[in-house]
Chain A
Amino acid sequence: MSKNKNIDVIFRKKSLSFQKEPPPEIWDNILSGIQPEKNRVLPVFWRIAAGMAIVIALGLGYQYIFNTENLGDNQFSMNETVRQNIEDSSRSETTDPFKENELPEEMAENIGIENKSSAKDYSQKFLSASTKRNTAPVLASTDTHDELSIEAYNLKHLVSLDDFPIQLKPVDAKKDSIRIKEFIQQYTWEDLVAKEDFVENQKKDFLIEALLSPTYSYRDIVSSSPSLSSYYNDFESGQISYSGGMKVGFIATERLSIHTGLVYARIGYTIGGLKNIALKSENAYDALPNAVFNDPQPYVIANSIGKVNNADFSSSTISTIAQPENADATLSYLSSGALTSPENRSVVSDLSFSQIFHIMEIPFHMKYKIIDRKLDFNVLSGLSTNIMVGNNLFVNEGSDKTSIGEIESVNKINYSGDFGFGLEYEINKKLQLLFEPQFKYYLNSINKDNLVANRPYSMGFYTGLSYIF
């Protein structure tokens, strides 16, 4: 190195560390020269995600309320009607519409029974039940025949199922002369609604699921700067990986189930269009301050998450990685243009990075069955807590893949909104085959202190088995 070069290097080093407090009026002048403060605008993707969440929540809420209200109406109707029937039957022995062991024709029509013999079966079940129950208090009420029909309809739903909670045994109608009205007198409202409870109780099973999926993952960029978004979108791309895990579920109602578990997922993206750069001229080395050699810095590969937390520039031969047409991005802590001069550098090879995040997901999903057949169709929605258990950045150069460290300043715990559909094929009463396409969008930015908010998303096609116990 010549004497002149030495002088330049020392001048450079000293000059770069020179600082001086500017006069205070400069800031005032700058303020008067820049535009007024902008109002903060909620990023568009976040607004869409929030909108979707509200729609889903409203939909589920409406569904829940609607079902609850219906149930309430039925209960009220039945309660009142039972009372009315009791009152009616107790005061009109002579005009009793019921014949022994039979339901009236009109009632049979209303409850969908085609002939009287079927109606008899129902009445017999009622009668047998009535023999085992305590007598209910008789309540006064008035009645109309229409209301009785509604009541009969409700009774049909309660009694026509085989698994009635009370031990029912068909009896010989001739030996049992208790008529329907007496049954109603003896059969309490609590007995009738007990059937509802029983059905509910019976459905409160648990299940365990094992799922595996190929997963496409990428990220959404939220930034107030359009040029930043387009810049990153130009050279970053999605990645195909996999995820899988176990879930347990609680079958809350016939159609609604709640699921949680532990799912491992690999997500990430690819940073392409990179060059391996080597400095080739003495000038370039001379222009670098000693700090480059004495104070190793992270690689500064511009990407939508942050810096790579690994580097070793202590070697006397700097060979590093840079983005094309922007070699100074690699060593951007240098304000030097040394690396921007084509004569100072050479491209060794093309390469790309793979950014991988290892995530343990703890989902909390609600699954609602829209079609309840042998092949069920579900919608799934919920949130996941995503714990980042690992983070690797790989360099792909030809067929070689080398880990060079990890991205720094990322959030270890993130949350995502999940949405999906599910097909469940019932192999037998206990075992189901699952196919669940799912979409997952991170509700918070995965990175900290960066210009853009990086929100990963993933799409998976989960297949697996579900066992009910």
Chain B
Amino acid sequence: MADIPGNIIKACIEGNRSGQEELYRLVAPKMYGVCLQYAGNADDAKDIMQDGFIKVFSKIDQYTGKGSFEGWIRRILVNTALEKIRSRVNLQSIDEYDNANVEMFDQYVLESMTAEEISQLIQNLSPKYRLVFNLYALEGFSHKDISEKLGISEGTSKSNLSRARSILQQKVVELFSERERKDE
């Protein structure tokens, strides 16, 4: 992750409008991708992006220089997404699901997929699976951290992660099969 030039961050801290716009142009595509992956749809992603960046610019003087600035922005957007989604989605329910039925595939199948295809698969997950999968696999949080962030038990977190993986694998298989049929 390339870091943001210090002069741009400094300009943002000083409330300089052109600095804020420059920062936004630099990171917006990547951060909008993050919003989409958490929101699952464009409308919510826009709201998260908008609210998140307002927080970024209003709280930028609280950035202590610890870690990369881009990572700091990403964390704010992720937290904004969690606040928004958590308040309206039931994350507690656990579906019984038999992972044994999931058809396995070779790793190269995944490698051959584009970033957009992968992202689309994640976006299509239901919120409770999507959030847990994102926090665990993308952000690297432990189940304990996830349980605290989402207000669910560690067991629910593990179960939802497992279910998310299964669905994603299934979707990958379906996508790959469809692609093969088209090729034939």
Contacts and interface: CB of A to CB of B under 8 A. Distances in A.
Interface of A: 3-4, 6-8, 10-12, 14-23, 25-27, 29-30, 33-38, 40, 223-228, 231-232, 283, 287, 300, 302, 306, 323, 326, 328-329, 332-341, 343-344, 447-452
A337 B140 contact: yes
Nearest to B50: A29
Contacts of A40: 14, 16
Count chain A CB atoms within 10 A of each CB in B107, B115, B169 and give the residue with the most: B115
A224 B10 contact: yes
Contact of B61 (A30, A226, A447): A226
Contacts, number: 197
A132 B111 CA distance: 107
Contacts of A287: 140
A14 B54 contact: no
Interface in B35-63: 36-37, 42, 46, 49-50, 53-54, 57-58, 60-63
Given A7-B165, A40-B16, A449-B7, A18 B115 contact: yes
Contacts of B32: 19-22, 26
14 contacts: A14-B115, A18-B36, A18-B116, A20-B116, A25-B46, A33-B54, A40-B16, A225-B62, A287-B140, A300-B3, A300-B68, A333-B2, A333-B68, A333-B71
Contact of A341 (B9, B145, B165): B145
B145 A19 contact: no
Contact of B57 (A21, A30, A334): A30
B65 A452 contact: yes
B138 interface: yes
B64 A231 contact: yes
B140 A23 contact: no
Interface stretch (B23-31, B88-96, B173-181): B23-31
Nearest to B67: A332
A26 B50 contact: yes
Contacts of B54: 30, 33-34
B168 interface: yes
B1 A451 contact: no
Given A37-B15, A224-B14, A338 B140 contact: yes
A343 B142 contact: yes
A22 B67 contact: no
Interface residues of B, number: 69
Given A33-B50, A224-B14, A334-B71, A6 B107 contact: yes
B17 interface: yes
Contact of B110 (A10, A228, A337): A10
Contacts of A23: 42, 46
B132 to A, nearest CB: 12
Contacts of A36: 15
Count chain A CB atoms within 10 A of each CB in B107, B113, B137 and give the residue with the most: B137
Given A15-B37, A451-B6, A30 B137 contact: no
B176 to A, nearest CB: 14
B172 to A, nearest CB: 9
Nearest to B33: A18
A25 B53 CA distance: 13
Nearest to B73: A335
Count chain B CB atoms within 10 A of each CB in A7, A15, A338 and give the residue with the most: A15
B74 interface: yes
Given A16-B1, A224-B10, A334-B1, 14 more contacts: A8-B136, A14-B114, A21-B32, A22-B28, A27-B21, A37-B16, A232-B65, A328-B67, A332-B67, A335-B1, A335-B74, A335-B139, A337-B139, A451-B10
Given A224-B14, A334-B1, A26 B49 contact: yes
B6 A22 contact: no
Q: Closest 10 interchain pairs by CB?
A: A38-B15, A336-B140, A338-B140, A332-B67, A22-B32, A19-B29, A449-B6, A450-B6, A14-B118, A287-B140
A336 B53 CA distance: 20
Contacts of A328: 67, 71
B68 A332 contact: yes
